[in-house]
Amino acid sequence: MAKRQSASTLEVLEELSGVFNLLPTEEFRNEVTTSVQQIIGFLQDLRVAIEKIPTREQMIDRRIPESLDRVRDFLKPFESAGRARSSRQAQRSVKKVVDLEEFKDHLMTLPIGQIEGALRDSGLTLEQLKEVLTRLGGSSRGARSKEQVIQRIVDEIRTRRELSGLRDGATP
pLDDT single digits (tens) 90-104? 555 445 567 888 888
Domain co-membership, 162 together with 104: yes
Domain co-membership, 73 together with 125: no
115: nearest Cα among 85, 158, 146, 172: 158
Is position 141 within any domain? yes
Is position 109 within any domain? yes
The burial class, CB within 10 Å (0-12 / 13-18 / 19+), for 155 is middle
Domain co-membership, 9 together with 65: no
Domain boundary among 64, 91, 118: 91
Residue, of 16 and 157, whose pLDDT is higher = 157
Domain co-membership, 106 together with 160: yes
pLDDT of residue 40: 94
Average pLDDT, the chain: 80
Residue, of 127 and 77, whose pLDDT is higher = 127
Cα separation, 160 vs 65, whole angstroms: 53
Amino acid at 121: D
Is position 36 within any domain? yes
Is position 82 within any domain? yes
The range of the structural domain enclosing residue 117 comes to 100-166
Domain co-membership, 114 together with 148: yes
Domain co-membership, 35 together with 74: no
Domain boundary among 65, 91, 117: 91
The mean-pLDDT minimum among 4-8, 24-28, 83-87, 111-115 falls in 83-87
The mean-pLDDT minimum among 48-57, 65-74, 123-132, 147-156 falls in 65-74
| Virtual torsion, Cα 147, 150, 156, 159, nearest 10 deg | -70
Is position 12 within any domain? yes
pLDDT of residue 44: 93
DSSP assignment, residue 18? Answer: H
Residue 109 half-sphere exposure toward CB, CA atoms < 13 A: 5
Q: Tell me: the pLDDT tens digits for 124-161?
A: 889 999 998 888 888 888 888 899 999 999 999 888 88
Residue 172 banded pLDDT, cuts 50, 70, 90: very low
Q: What global pTM score does this model have?
A: 0.43
Contact 127, 95 (CB under 8 A): no
Domain co-membership, 9 together with 41: yes
Cα separation, 15 vs 71, whole angstroms: 74
Domain co-membership, 9 together with 64: no
Is position 172 within any domain? no
Is position 46 within any domain? yes
Tally of domains in the chain: 3
Domain co-membership, 115 together with 156: yes
The mean-pLDDT minimum among 53-57, 73-77, 141-145, 166-170 falls in 166-170
Neighbours of 124 (CB within 10 A): 21
Domain co-membership, 69 together with 113: no
Domain co-membership, 79 together with 132: no
| Arithmetic mean of pLDDT, 6-19 | 79
pLDDT of residue 84: 60
Cα separation, 60 vs 124, whole angstroms: 49
Is position 41 within any domain? yes
